[in-house]
Amino acid sequence: MTKIIEPMTKGSIVKHMIYFALPLLLGNLFQQLYNTVDSLIVGNFLGSSALAAVSSSGSLIFMLIGFLSGISSGAGVIISRYFGAEDIKNVHRAVHTTVAFGIVAGLLMTAAGVLMSPQILIWMGTPESVMGESVIYLQIYFSGSFGFVLYNIFVGILQAIGDSRHPLYYLIISSVINVVLDILFIRVYHTGVGGAALATVISQAVSAILCMIQLICTKGSHKLQIKEIKFNRNILGQIIRIGLPSGVQNSIIAFANIIVQSYINAFGEMAMAGYGAYSKIEGFGFLPINSFTMAMTTFVGQNLGAKKIERTKKGARFGILITIGLAELIGVFVYLFAPQLIAAFDSTPEVIRFGVEKAQTAALFYCLLAFSHSVASILRGAGKAMVPMIIMMCCWCVIRVTFLAVTIPLTHSMQMVYIVYPLTWGLSSLAFLFCYKKVNWLGQP
């Protein structure tokens, strides 16, 4: 019998946040291993050109996945509020509406990803030398994206009711499968970058199936019943109203990053590989921060659902402080050990140089990125998804792209790509500070 999950509306705030965030951290760590193991094995066994092909695919993958993840985050807020209010009937409706949405979205994403990949890679200015491998990687990846979408939907449901342990267990299993298949396909059967994508697809499908079984077998109010999967118009409207801004925000930021990637591509394969290796390191470094921001969204959603305003404020303050502190510690570590970290992906001196330059420009400003994500997660948990959407679109899209469009033609320097990130993190932090102080974010959505 599955243990009933205790809501985050009672007991120690610090204990709830840490106990929820720690499994998330480990789970995110294993999820990050999906793409990172691909890059490590590809970079060491297939070379810099293949690593560049895989790295150039990241922004496009996030553009399509980010939209659906944003929508599912809206579902998580709705479920967490009903769960906090102990409204079992609406928890049931929200769960099944969310799964119905995931099924439709997964099918659409599979078709869109496979069909659009070649043309978008052309728009990104992907070098001809890596175009073929990039297309292969993306099309195989997106052909199996149905499992990835459903996995994220199922995990969002579990996290909304405060269960971060079971997703961790399933990610450990799927990550081991991913590593074994990567080595088998690339090292033994010599399938190239396509093998790396196929390994990811198979491991993601396994984790989705395990999560589905957990939801079917649970005794809680979030139990999944296959025959009950259908849309509830009222719930779907709430999910879209809260989730659509986050989805649009994620997609537009990812689209802006595709434009940034096109500038990186213009500097050649070594720049692409070095920047891609740094991106993997940053992804690992930011896992603790992402874990706490996800915990903050669930905590805020549940406690506002239970109308515990002061408890919500205390949890928000604790979350902001711990994420900023963790981010700066991680930033210092990345700054100091950047050469060794980049070399783990590719020992080519020029690749290391590009990666280290990026790391030592941005790493000490991780605290600004952490603050922006913290306040954004609080606002989303409160149902105020429009605010972070507007701020991030302005700072991380419009200003970022405009800055590069002006400075790159004038300087022809990769350094402009490096500094635009801490610059826009700082601007968004100022905007979020104002909103956190002035906006009635605890009001009803």
CA angle 276, 331, 262 (to 5 degrees): 25
Lowest mean pLDDT among 11-25, 66-80, 408-422: 66-80
pLDDT at 96: 95
The percent of residues in the chain predicted with pLDDT above 90, rounded, is: 33
The DSSP annotation for 246-270 comes to HHHHHHHHHHHHHHHHHHHHTT-HH
Per-residue b or e along 66-103, where b marks 16 or more CB atoms closer than 10 Å to that residue's CB: bbbbbbbbbbbbbbbbbbbbeeeebbbbbbbbbbbbbe
The percent of residues in the chain predicted with pLDDT above 70, rounded, is: 89
- Does residue 253 surpass a pLDDT of 80? no
Q: How confident is the model at residue 439 (pLDDT cuts 50, 70, 90)?
A: low
pLDDT at 331: 94
Mean pLDDT of the chain: 85
The single residue listed with the structure tokens 């719930």 is 235
The radius of gyration computed from the CA coordinates of the chain, to the nearest angstrom, equals: 21
For residue 296, the tally of other CB atoms under 10 A from its CB is: 29
Contact 144, 66 (CB under 8 A): no
Q: How confident is the model at residue 15 (pLDDT cuts 50, 70, 90)?
A: confident
Mind listing the pLDDT tens digit for each residue in 89-110?
Answer: 999 999 999 999 999 988 988 8
For residue 63, the tally of other CB atoms under 10 A from its CB is: 21
Which position has the higher pLDDT, 170 or 43? 170
Q: Where is mean pLDDT largest: 22-26, 186-190, 254-258, 392-396? A: 392-396
pLDDT at 286: 83
Q: How many helices (H) and strands (E) in the chain?
A: 17, 0
Q: How confident is the model at residue 57 (pLDDT cuts 50, 70, 90)?
A: low
User: Cβ-count burial of 438 within 10 angstroms (0-12 exposed, 13-18 middle, 19+ buried)?
Assistant: exposed
pLDDT at 168: 84
- Sequence-separated contacts (24+) of 367-370 with Cβ below 8 Å: 367/324, 367/327, 367/328, 367/331, 368/422, 368/425, 368/426, 368/428, 368/429, 369/286, 369/289, 369/327, 369/425, 370/286, 370/289, 370/323, 370/324, 370/326, 370/327, 370/328
Which position has the higher pLDDT, 2 or 19? 19
Beta-strand ranges (E) seen in 281-416 are none
Amino acid at 407: T
Which position has the higher pLDDT, 158 or 125? 158
Mind listing the pLDDT tens digit for each residue in 138-190?
Answer: 888 888 888 888 988 998 899 888 888 888 888 888 888 988 898 898 888 88
* DSSP summary character for residue 46: T
